[in-house]
Amino acid sequence: MSGIAGILLRQDGGPAQATDIQQMLAHMRHRARDGSSWWTAGSVALGHAWLDTTGENGPGPLIMAGGKLAITADCRLDNRDELLARLGAGDRPVNDAMLLMQAYLTWGDACPTYLQGDFAFAIWDAERRALFCARDHFGIKPFHYHSTARRFAFASEIGPLLALDGVGTRISEHQISGFLAGLPDDPQSTQYAEIFRLPARHILTVTDSQVMLRPYWQVEPSPRPLRPDATEEFRHLFSQSVRNRMRGTPAIGAMLSGGLDSSSIAGVAGLQAAAEHRQRLKTFSLVFDKGSPMDEKSFIDAVLDRHRLDGTMISVGNYAPFAEFERILEEQEGTFLAPGLSLTRSIYRTAGAKGVKVLLDGHGGDEVVSHGHGLLHELANAGRWLALWRELHGATGTYGEGMLAMYFRFLTVYGPAWRIARWRNRMNRLLSRLRLKTAAQARVPAWGALVNAELARRTDLVDRFHRAGYMPPSVSASEALTHRWVLSTGLVPHAFEVLDKAAANFGVEPRYPFWDKPLVEFCLALPGEEKLHNGFGRHVLRQAMEGVLPPAVQWRRDKIDFTANLVNGMLRNHRDLLDTVLVSEGDRIAPYVNLSEVNAAYARLLQKPGEAAPLDVQYVWRSISLSLWLRRIQPMGSLA
């Protein structure tokens, strides 16, 4: 994963100093496995930390148009042929960063609307005296910035910005409360009050007098009519997405968990590598103890037996979730919502040690393809109770809730008695709104007992959660709206940023074939029956993998629950740490959590670890994570 950085001195702030951009790049050495360089001209300085994953982009900012344009970019463009044709670039070899500048010369600020792929870039336009910045559609590539009247600075990570003079280190209480609530609801804020992120699918234009932020795309279904054979179209788009992400370096690997998503990618990539006479695709799998509820080795072996793959097994025996946690917090530059990150890092570490620079990852398959559970609401609302019973197999297989319980829950909400009550309520809209408001206020979120009440009040957490944390009933009743809502939440870019920072530490760039713009738009346009059919969620993907995956993997219903592994790892390997943080050092987190509730949850874990409630596990894990982060940054940062 490459890195970018830059400084623009505004309002005649004088010439940009090479020492400043060099200092920023020094804080991203881990991203510069293949070199780094910088460029300065007057009041602007651009820097680039280079990890060569395409075989084309060189180590450094590029300049064109007689020195009037300069760019630093972390990018991979997937529609190169289309862009070359539109821009009239001919057959000349042109790297992705140069294509971006040509797109900017042709389309100006509208250029990101013509792009497909993963990108974060900044273009200095000397004629306009403007810095034009953009981030890709889903936030796969990171972009952070700090802005004052005299200076604008940006970087792929927060650390290079904190290294600059005058950048405050005040901690954001909003971010702390959002972390505890599992709510990354603000697409712009970071853990530091004076550092912001450029949201996904947005552009940012900086001049001497203003900073303008605008969206260039919205998560929407494809406007093109669906082809009669949805399975064939999905297979084409998915294969094309995998092929695009295999472009460049031969040092390519893939995660292989044995689940539907990673197995589909590994299978298609393995076939592609064989067709192009490449070396065997390297795959990396976590292997748990035989007989463990997390053991997926039989599924992994089935995929390896079917394809020409070079499989590496990474044993997960005595799992210690807080091992290397100080290093992980330093790497992440703050708290994060990923209790299993240390396991993912072990894959990055092993892949990097084996010379892999690009790692294909099945992350997001559930969200992009969709299990189609919004269809259940549509069937119930239409009174199609027999069809609902048949399709409930998909939901119960995924989440483990009993079919009868789910069926009667739908009857309660959508049955005839409810229809009459709903009709009566509509006769008095004012009263209905009043009741809904009262019910929303009375509803206690899952984090209600965890977050300190004063912190929740100061950061408007209840209102924030009701705006961004709950799917509105009008949305959940429609598969199309549910699917779009899921893909638009703050959890999507948050996950990409966490994985980006972890992988960059080992010189690895994750690539995500499911997060391909044409594929996402296609899946959003699919009717619910293509996503949930005969009780199988993500049905179109399963059908498309006919002949690619062994049936045992292709038609898997279950999802592995790692809760027990996390609980056992915490209690077996970190008991002293938990006791110290929650008892001896409890005062550190007391202003942010209800310590008595956290200790009660901890006591329940100790008493019955085999029956741990997921909420108790999250209370303990998030409290420990917050305490260790505060221990690390204080007294460096004060609270905002």
- Side by side, which strands form the sheet with 62-64? 62-64, 69-77, 117-125, 130-135, 202-206, 211-215
CA-based Rg of the chain, rounded to a whole angstrom?
25
Q: Which pLDDT does position 56 carry in this prediction?
A: 65
CA–CA dist 234, 237 (Å, integer) = 5
> Which structure tokens are listed for 153?
């600075």
- Side by side, which strands form the sheet with 358-360? 309-316, 281-288, 252-255, 358-360, 509-511
The predicted-structure confidence for 223-237, as pLDDT tens digits, reads as follows: 888 888 999 999 999
Give the list of residues 6+ apart from residue 635 with CB closer than 8 angstroms, or none. Answer: none
- Compute the C-alpha angle 482/488/491, nearest 5°: 110
For residue 502, pLDDT beyond 70: yes
Confirm whether pTM is higher than 0.85: yes
3-state secondary structure of 23: helix
The predicted-structure confidence for 527-568, as pLDDT tens digits, reads as follows: 999 999 988 999 999 999 999 999 999 999 887 878 888 999
> Which structure tokens are listed for 486?
């899921």
Q: Which pLDDT does position 422 carry in this prediction?
A: 54
Q: What is the mean pLDDT of the chain?
A: 90
Q: Which pLDDT does position 394 carry in this prediction?
A: 66
Average pLDDT over residues 299-314: 95
> Which structure tokens are listed for 459?
């950061």
The residue whose two tokens read 């609980």 is: 567
For residue 635, pLDDT beyond 50: yes
Verify cis geometry, omega within 30 degrees of 0, for the bond prior to 187.
no
Average pLDDT over residues 446-457: 91
Highest mean pLDDT among 290-304, 549-563, 619-633: 619-633
For residue 420, pLDDT beyond 90: no
Domains of the chain: 3-215 (3.60.20.10), 230-368+491-554 (3.40.50.620), 374-449+472-488 (no CATH), 563-633 (no CATH)
419 vs 487, residue with greater confidence:
487
Q: Which pLDDT does position 372 carry in this prediction?
A: 93
For residue 453, pLDDT beyond 90: yes
Average pLDDT over residues 272-296: 90
Q: Which pLDDT does position 419 carry in this prediction?
A: 52
Eight-state DSSP code of residue 15 = P
Confidence of residue 360 (pLDDT cuts 50, 70, 90): very high
> Which structure tokens are listed for 353?
């040690």
Q: How many helices (H) and strands (E) does the chain have?
A: 29, 19
Confidence of residue 257 (pLDDT cuts 50, 70, 90): very high
CA–CA dist 407, 425 (Å, integer) = 24
Average pLDDT over residues 337-363: 96
Give the list of residues 6+ apart from residue 466 with CB closer than 8 angstroms, or none. Answer: 440
For residue 305, pLDDT beyond 70: yes
The predicted-structure confidence for 109-149, as pLDDT tens digits, reads as follows: 999 999 999 999 999 999 999 999 999 999 999 999 999 99
For residue 367, pLDDT beyond 60: yes
Average pLDDT over residues 167-173: 92
The length of the chain in residues reads 640
Confidence of residue 437 (pLDDT cuts 50, 70, 90): very low
Confidence of residue 442 (pLDDT cuts 50, 70, 90): very low
- Report which secondary-structure segment, H or E, holds 62: strand 62-64
CA torsion through residues 553, 559, 560, 566, sign: positive
CA-nearest of 190, 208, 188, 192 to 200 is: 188
CA torsion through residues 492, 498, 501, 505, sign: negative
440 vs 611, residue with greater confidence:
611
**How much of the chain is helix, strand and coil, in % rounded to 5?**
50, 15, 35
CA-nearest of 110, 108, 111 to 83 is: 111
Integer angstrom CA distances of residue 417 from 414, 420, 475:
8, 5, 22
Confidence of residue 434 (pLDDT cuts 50, 70, 90): very low
Inter-helix orientation angle 341-353/491-504, to 10°? 40
52 vs 24, residue with greater confidence:
24
CA–CA dist 213, 305 (Å, integer) = 50
Q: What percent of the chain has pLDDT over 70?
A: 92
For residue 413, pLDDT beyond 60: yes
Integer angstrom CA distances of residue 252 from 6, 248, 259, 355:
30, 9, 20, 9
Instruction: Name the E strands within 231-355.
Output: 252-255, 281-288, 309-316
**Alpha-carbon torsion angle 265, 375, 529, 527, nearest 10:** -80
Strand 62-64 with 69-77, pairing: antiparallel
Q: Which pLDDT does position 509 carry in this prediction?
A: 96
For residue 435, pLDDT beyond 50: no
CA–CA dist 191, 182 (Å, integer) = 14
CA–CA dist 394, 475 (Å, integer) = 20
Average pLDDT over residues 278-289: 93
Q: Which of 60-64, 439-443, 474-478, 489-493 has the lowest mean pLDDT?
A: 439-443
